[in-house]
């Protein structure tokens, strides 16, 4: 250890009380699945954590039946105020078990503990508190008096924010009066199963939330099930497209939260130190496994060299390594499959002529790792400027005028988010107005709040999560509805 190196500061795993194997969570109980169980691992070490059940079509059917029965007999008959009490209880239990959930999330996903501890889990609690408050106020959701729940919601989530995506899906669905069957991602089922324990602790009526683990086929079975009224999906654009085809004409409601290729635009009058922090947070937070990541830096030409120099200096101070170490900035990539995809796209970046740079950093021997990387001299036609890399890789492009920045930012099939860094409020507002992105951050990046709607344009999907908009995605108007 040299001068100014940090000593290891690992968060203890002793708080975890994991079972060697987990079943499906159906009708309030853990049950065996009919599919072949699989092992869930820590991507930082490749060690196994637990055996996880796989739900086949029959298991998914049982889960949907449980959700339907719970909807008909219990959940649809409760008052909003009573549903709210369950949501408040869940939120408080998440807070009580926050440290345990943070450790489990970092272990199974690979993200740094400081992120799961300070961002993921607090936001999970915030989401349940926020929607708990809505449960008895549905008359004010903007759909007229006494809007109706849709019924059974099938929800499919990705691996990048496992418990937070669960909260984004389950909290508004339950507040609006729906029951749920949720499928976590194959590589990150652990916190969803700990959440199932929390539901037992909260005495949530059996069947109101069911969790079916497994791979893509389990998700497909849920999407195809005829008794599901609504599908909410977060994941890749390709799978989203397939789901849109499968549900077309079935009467199922659908929301899709898909990929992104956000532009983070730095003007020459930007507060440069803040902008550097924002650019780093924009793409290196959560190893860049963020759908709204600022993966394209658009920097005004006259400050390009200064920005790149400062960015390289800042990247040299990032610490890559053990996700459970409290000093870690960059954790493990979630899976070998994702690592291979990052390697393939970065190799294409070099082959197409962009210049690649990474700070010197030690890569651990086991597990899946990728050093933070920036590409300069990127052209809009390069694959690394067009395709979602979903890793700690920043593509830098330049512009001279606001017009050019707007044109380049919008030159993507996606439209999820964008960032603008400038000292002038008038410029920020004028540019934001013309960006085709669901969320535009100004002089900040990657900020989330349960009251604020989030979602995309174009190939980034449709529908919004968060806020009143996220609530109405689980409601239908009730013409002539009486309270």
Residues annotated catalytic, as ranges: 257, 291
Task: Fill in the DSSP letter of residue 257.
Answer: E
Residues 373, 394 contacting (CB under 8 angstroms): yes
What sign has the CA pseudo-torsion 412, 161, 339, 211? negative
Q: Is 203 exposed, middle or buried (0-12, 13-18, 19+ CB in 10 A)?
A: exposed
Q: Which is nearer to ligand NAP, 56 or 404 (CB)?
A: 56
Count of residues binding ligand NAP (CB under 6 A)? Answer: 27
CB of 255 to ligand NAP, least distance (A): 10
Report the phi/psi class of residue 25: left, alpha or beta, with left for phi > 0 and alpha for psi in -120 to 50.
Answer: beta
Closer residue to ligand NAP, CB minimum distance, 128 or 161: 161
**Residues sharing a CB contact under 8 Å with residue 249, sequence separation 6 or more, in sequence order:** none
CB atoms within 10 A of CB 196: 23
Q: Is 244 in the site for ligand NAP (CB under 6 A)?
A: no
Is 236 among the residues that bind ligand NAP (CB under 6 A)?
yes
Structure tokens belonging to residue 123: 């936001």
120 is an interface residue for ligand NAP by CB under 6 A: no
Of the candidate residues 235, 282, 453, 470, the single one contacting ligand NAP (CB under 6 A):
235
Kindly state the smallest distance separating residue 126's Cβ from ligand NAP, in Å: 17
Give backbone dihedrals phi and psi of 120, rounded to 5 degrees, phi first.
Answer: -55, -60
DSSP 3-state assignment of 114?
helix
Reading the block at residue 181, the tokens are 């069957």
Stretch of 10-18, 143-151, 235-243, 321-329 contacting ligand NAP, by CB under 6 A: 235-243
Using Cβ positions, the residue closest to ligand NAP within the complex turns out to be 219
CB 248: neighbour CB atoms within 10 A?
A: 9
Is residue 388 part of the contact set for ligand NAP (CB under 6 A)? yes
**Near ligand NAP by CB under 6 A: residue from 11, 229, 257, 387:** 257
The total of other beta-carbon atoms located within 10 Å of residue 17's CB is: 8
Site string for ligand NAP, 277-296 (x = CB under 6 A): --------------x-----
What's the min distance (Å) between Cβ of 258 and ligand NAP? Answer: 5
**Which range in 23-31, 256-264, 314-322, 346-354 contacts ligand NAP by CB under 6 A?**
256-264
Rounded to whole angstroms, what are the CA distances from 130 to 167, 170, 232, 300? 11, 12, 19, 39
Among 90, 141, 258, 332, binds ligand NAP (CB under 6 A): 258
* Residue from 70, 185, 196, 212 binding ligand NAP (CB under 6 A): 185
158 binding ligand NAP? (CB under 6 A)? yes
Beta pairing class for 253-257 and 230-234: parallel
**Minimum CB–partner distance for residue 223 and ligand NAP (Å):** 5
- Stretch of 64-72, 86-94, 258-266, 399-407 contacting ligand NAP, by CB under 6 A: 258-266
* CA-to-CA separations, 457 to 121, 213, 258, 261, 288, in angstroms, rounded: 28, 30, 10, 12, 21
Closest separation in Å from C-beta 218 to ligand NAP: 7
Q: What's the min distance (Å) between Cβ of 416 and ligand NAP? A: 6
d(CA 18, CA 48): 12
Task: Work out whether 250 is an interface residue with ligand NAP (CB under 6 A).
Answer: no
CA distance 393 to 389: 7
**Least distance (Å) from ligand NAP to the CB of residue 115?**
15
The window from 42-50, 183-191, 324-332, 396-404 that contacts ligand NAP (CB under 6 A) reads 183-191
- Minimal distance in Å, beta carbon 222 to ligand NAP? 7
Burial class (CB in 10 A: 0-12, 13-18, 19+), 140: exposed
Q: 234 phi and psi, to 5 degrees?
A: -125, 125
Q: Which helix H or strand E contains 181, and what residues bound it?
A: strand 179-183
| C-alpha triplet 393, 395, 401: angle, nearest 5° | 150
The window from 99-107, 121-129, 252-260, 350-358 that contacts ligand NAP (CB under 6 A) reads 252-260
Which residues is 149 bridged to in the sheet? 475
247 counts as binding ligand NAP under rule CB under 6 A: no
Least distance CB 338 / ligand NAP (angstroms): 7
User: Taking phi first (over 0 means left), then psi (-120 to 50 degrees means alpha), and beta for anything else, what does residue 321 get?
Assistant: left
Nearer to ligand NAP, 157 or 265 (CB): 157
Stretch (H or E) spanning 98: helix 98-109
3-class DSSP assignment, residue 265: strand
Site string for ligand NAP, 390-429 (x = CB under 6 A): x-------------------------x-------------
The CA distances from residue 403 to 232, 413, 419, 431, in Å, are 36, 19, 15, 9
Stretch that binds ligand NAP, among 126-134, 137-145, 253-261, 475-483 (CB under 6 A): 253-261
- Looking at residues 195 to 234 of the shown chain, list those that interact with ligand NAP (rule: CB under 6 A): 215-216, 219-220, 223, 234
Task: Select the residue interacting with ligand NAP from 59, 115, 120, 186 (CB under 6 A).
Answer: 186
List of residues contacting ligand NAP (CB under 6 A): 156-160, 183, 185-186, 215-216, 219-220, 223, 234-236, 239, 242-243, 257-260, 291, 388, 390, 416
């Amino acid at each position: 250890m040299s001068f100014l190196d940090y000593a290891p500061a690992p968060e203890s795993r002793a708080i975890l009380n994991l079972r060697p194997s987990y079943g499906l969570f159906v009708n309030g109980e853990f049950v065996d699945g009919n599919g072949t169980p699989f092992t869930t691992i820590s991507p930082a070490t490749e060690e196994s954590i637990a055996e996880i059940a796989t739900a086949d079509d029959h298991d998914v059917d049982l889960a949907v039946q449980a959700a339907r029965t719970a909807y008909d007999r219990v959940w649809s008959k409760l008052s909003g105020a009573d549903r709210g009490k369950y949501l408040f209880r869940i939120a408080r239990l998440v807070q009580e078990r926050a440290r345990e959930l943070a450790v489990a999330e970092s272990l199974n996903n690979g993200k740094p503990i400081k992120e799961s501890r300070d961002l993921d889990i607090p936001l999970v609690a915030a989401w349940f508190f926020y929607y708990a408050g809505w449960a008895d106020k549905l008359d004010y959701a903007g759909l007229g008096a006494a809007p109706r729940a849709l019924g059974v919601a099938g929800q499919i989530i990705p691996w990048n924010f496992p418990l937070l995506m669960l909260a984004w899906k389950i909290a508004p669905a339950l507040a609006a009066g729906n029951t749920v069957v949720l499928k976590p991602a194959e590589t990150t089922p652990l916190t969803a199963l700990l959440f199932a324990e929390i539901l037992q602790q909260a005495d949530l009526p059996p069947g109101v939330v069911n969790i079916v683990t497994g791979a893509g086929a389990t998700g497909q079975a849920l999407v195809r099930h005829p008794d599901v009224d609504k599908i909410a999906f977060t994941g890749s654009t390709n799978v989203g497209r397939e789901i849109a085809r499968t549900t077309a004409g079935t009467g199922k409601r659908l929301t899709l939260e898909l990929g992104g290729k956000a532009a983070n635009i730095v003007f020459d009058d930007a507060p440069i130190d803040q902008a550097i922090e924002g650019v780093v947070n924009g793409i290196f937070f959560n190893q860049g496994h963020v759908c709204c990541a600022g993966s394209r830096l658009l920097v005004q030409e006259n400050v390009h060299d200064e920005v790149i120099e400062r960015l390289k200096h800042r990247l040299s101070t990032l610490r890559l390594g053990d996700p459970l170490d409290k000093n870690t900035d960059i954790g493990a990539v979630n899976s070998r499959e994702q690592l291979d995809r990052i390697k393939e796209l970065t190799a294409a970046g070099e082959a197409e002529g962009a210049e690649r740079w990474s700070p010197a950093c030690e890569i651990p021997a086991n597990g899946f790792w990728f050093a933070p990387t920036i590409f300069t001299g990127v052209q809009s036609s390069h694959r690394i400027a067009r395709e979602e890399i979903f890793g700690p890789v920043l593509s830098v492009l330049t512009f001279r005028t606001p017009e050019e920045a707007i044109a380049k930012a919008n030159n993507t099939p996606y439209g999820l988010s964008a960032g603008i860094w400038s000292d002038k409020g008038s410029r920020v507002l004028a540019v934001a107005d013309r960006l085709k992105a669901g969320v535009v951050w100004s002089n900040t990046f990657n900020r989330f709040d349960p009251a604020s709607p989030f979602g995309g344009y174009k190939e980034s999907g449709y529908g919004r999560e968060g806020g009143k908009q996220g609530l109405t995605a689980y409601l239908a108007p009730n013409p002539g509805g009486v309270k």
